[in-house]
């Protein structure tokens, strides 16, 4: 049932005999039948179907990498266009499909590039809730710091936050609190901008 190399010129062969051989063959047959049933195909087609699935998986992984590089389904310009306005500043608050903090930060960078004057708060719920906050340079000069916003928004999620004046992150323990934290972030931002 198995063959391996122990050293140069030395092979090990593992075999079963008697009732164990019958049990082994029955187990193999059950496994093959389960695979046939799952893939909804005949015995002769199993290898071909597995090859097709592996090719599909490879193509999907390639597409996913391409989307992540290009910002995926994240469209910063459309978010800026539909942003709320407080005074002269645009406020973008949005839930994203980011799967990691690195993805969320790259979404934040893209938003900051499109946001001439304003603040962006982007959330994602991968394993734990996470938020990235970006602040345009003019607001940073006026004393608005992303790190301060991150601490307040992180506290709403049962966690904390911090970072640089123009970009900061927040995280929490309670996934249910993410939506509430995003909802409250507009009032938090409004209060800071108007002070």
| Alpha-helix runs per DSSP H in the chain | 19-39, 46-69, 76-81, 101-114, 137-141, 146-156, 177-194
Number of domains forming the structure of the chain: 2
Q: What is the CATH number of the domain that holds 160?
A: 3.10.310.40
92: which 2 tokens? Answer: 């973008």
From residue 190, alpha-carbon distances to 116, 117, 150, 185 in Å are 17, 14, 14, 8
Q: Are residues 119 and 143 in the same domain?
A: yes
From residue 33, alpha-carbon distances to 1, 25, 99 in Å are 19, 12, 36
Q: Are residues 42 and 113 in the same domain?
A: no
Total residues found in the chain within this entry: 195
State mean pLDDT over 18-39.
Answer: 93
- Burial group, residue 61, by CB count within 10 angstroms (0-12, 13-18, 19+): exposed
- For the cut 70, the answer to whether the pLDDT of residue 162 exceeds it is yes
Q: Are residues 104 and 33 in the same domain?
A: no
pLDDT digits 0-9 by tens, 87-131: 889 999 998 888 788 888 988 988 988 888 999 999 988 778 899
pLDDT for 68 = 63
- For the cut 80, the answer to whether the pLDDT of residue 80 exceeds it is yes
- For the cut 60, the answer to whether the pLDDT of residue 81 exceeds it is yes
Q: Are residues 185 and 152 in the same domain?
A: yes
pLDDT digits 0-9 by tens, 132-157: 999 999 999 998 999 999 999 988 88
């Amino acid at each position: 049932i198995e063959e391996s190399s122990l050293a140069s010129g030395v092979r090990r062969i593992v075999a079963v005999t008697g009732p164990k051989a019958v049990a082994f063959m029955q187990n193999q047959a059950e496994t093959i039948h389960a695979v046939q049933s799952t893939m909804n195909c005949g015995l002769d087609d199993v290898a071909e179907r597995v090859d097709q699935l592996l090719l599909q998986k490879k193509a999907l992984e390639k597409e996913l990498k391409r989307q992540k590089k290009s910002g995926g389904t994240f469209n910063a310009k459309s978010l800026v266009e539909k942003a709320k306005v407080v005074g002269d500043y645009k406020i973008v608050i949005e839930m994203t499909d980011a799967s990691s903090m690195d993805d969320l930060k790259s979404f934040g960078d893209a938003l900051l590039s499109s946001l001439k004057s304003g603040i962006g708060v982007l959330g994602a719920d991968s394993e734990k809730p996470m938020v990235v906050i970006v602040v345009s340079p003019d607001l940073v000069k006026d004393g608005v710091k992303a790190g301060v916003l991150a601490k307040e928004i992180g506290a709403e999620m049962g966690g904390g936050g911090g970072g640089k004046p123009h970009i900061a992150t927040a995280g929490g323990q309670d996934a249910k609190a993410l939506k509430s934290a995003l909802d409250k972030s507009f009032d938090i931002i409004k209060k800071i901008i108007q002070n």
